[in-house]
Structure 1
Amino acid sequence: MDDHGRTARWEQRVEFPLAFASLAFLAAYAVRVLAVGLSPGGQDGCLAVMLGAWVLFGADYAVRWRLSGQRLRFVRTRWLDTLVLVLPLLRPLRVVKLYEAVQRRHGRPRLALHARVMVYAGLSTALLGFAGALAVYQQERGAPDATMVTFGDAAWWTCATFATVGYGDISPVTPGGRLIAVGMMACGLALLGAVTGSFSSWLLQVFSREGDERPPGV
């Protein structure tokens, strides 16, 4: 079996465990940030779950790198996997791959291409938005002159940022919060562009189909 075949078999074996590890990471991170008065043991337990998920991602990345035989080219061609390994906030995106795997195991995807793009973008937006709100809230709470004093404020700010509205009523004031904000702005623009472009393409196909079905001379 060639390198591509071995890599494909490995990815099929680990896609479900890695997706559940992503959910465990997100849940542990949410508890660590939102649970008020969490005991030191609970904090350590959440941290252990998060580190365990990172170890699983690192092991998977190393195995696929080894099986691919591509060396540095693997890093360039699998840039999303590299970002997921380096940036913790992107790890929940593995859940989107779980949805894709379930669709493949049912044979032909039930949704059309445009619908799948919008579903994937919607799932990615929800997961990234929740993780980003947690991260920016962790940075901003307790900071001097902070306008983001509750997690609800962080969620509202995340929605406004992803929608590129930018009301300005709530904004990060810490360097870490602003760095997270830059990343979320970029993600929001990309996801919004994917959904808008896919929806526009679907509308064009619908109108074109209606024009082809219209009787001549009408």
Structure 2
Amino acid sequence: MDHDSRSARWERRTEVPLAVASLVFLASYAVRVLGHGLPRALYDLCAALLPAAWALFIVDYAVRWRLSGERLRFVRTHWLDTLVVILPLLRPLRIVRVYEAVQRRHGEPRLALHARVIVYAGLSALLLGLAGSLAVYQQEHTAPGATMRTFGDAVWWACATFSTVGYGDVVPITPIGRLIAVGMMFIGLALLGAVTGTFASWLLQVFSREDDERRPGS
């Protein structure tokens, strides 16, 4: 059996469990950041689930690396997977991938290509916005002179950052908070570009089709 077949079988078998682990990781992280008034037992459980889920991500990466047979080339060709292992808060993006895989298993996706791009970009923005809000709030809300005092402030800041508006009323002041901000700026630009580019392409197709229908003899 070749490496590609073995890797594909592994990914098919693990995509749903890893998606669940991604949700568990995000939920546990949210409880750790926001659940100060919750029972101590639940707080400790989430503290244990975080490294356990992270360990699953590392095992999955190691197995796929081994099955690929590419050695160091795997790291270069799968740089996003490598980044996700280092920054597990990006892992919820796997949920979008699982949705696509489920649609494929039931035949052709129900949505057109343009609609799928917009839907997936929206889901990605929602998941990454939540993860980014949690991460930056954790770093900022106790910092001296911080303007981001509540989680609502962090969500407002994430929306302004993703939309590239940047009002400046709430800004990160810690080094890690600013590093998170830079990452979210790049992600926001990429997602916004994907959505606007896809929408523009759809409009061009619509106008082109209308022009063809109006031409005599068409």
- TM-score with structure 1 setting the length: 0.96
Gaps of 5+ in 2: none
Aligned equivalent of 1:87? 87
Corresponding residue for residue 97 of structure 1? 97
TM-superposed deviation, 1:98: 1.2
Written as runs of structure 1 = structure 2, the 5 A alignment for 1:19-58 is 19-58=19-58
5 Å-filtered alignment, 1:54-65, equals: 54-65=54-65
Q: What SS class does the counterpart of residue 66 from structure 2 fall into?
A: helix
Residues 1:188 and 2:217 aligned together: no
Q: How does 1:196-211 map to 2 (within 5 A)?
A: 196-211=196-211
Q: Does the 8 A contact of 1:33 with 1:134 survive in 2?
A: yes
Aligned to 1:106: 106
Q: Distance in 2 between matches of 1:176 and 1:26?
A: 19
- What is the distance in 2 between the residues matched to 1:45 and 1:36? 13
Name the aligned partner's letter for residue 4 of structure 2. H
Q: Which runs of 4+ in 1 moved over 2 A?
A: 36-44
Match of 1:123 in 2: 123
Equivalent residue, structure 2, for 1:157: 157
Q: Deviations over 1:115-136 (max 9, x none)?
A: 1111111111000000000000
**Structure 1: gaps (5+ residues):** none
2:139 maps to 139
Query: Is the 1:61–1:81 Cα contact (8 Å) retained in structure 2?
Result: yes
The range that moved more, 36-45 or 177-186, is 36-45
1:40-98 deviation line (CA, Å, top 9, x unaligned)? 54333112111111111111111111111001111111111111111122111111111
2:5 match: 5
What RMSD in Å do the two structures reach over aligned CA positions? 1.5
Q: Which residue of 2 aligns with 1:18?
A: 18
Count the aligned residue pairs.
218
Query: Would you say the 8 A contact 2:136–2:177 is kept in 1?
Result: yes
Question: 1:32 touches 1:38 (CA, 8 Å); kept in 2?
Answer: no
Identity across aligned pairs (percent)? 74
TM-score for the superposition, normalised by structure 2: 0.96
More divergent stretch after superposition (47-56 vs 128-137): 47-56
Partner of residue 68, structure 1: 68
CA-CA distance at 1:212 after TM superposition: 1.0
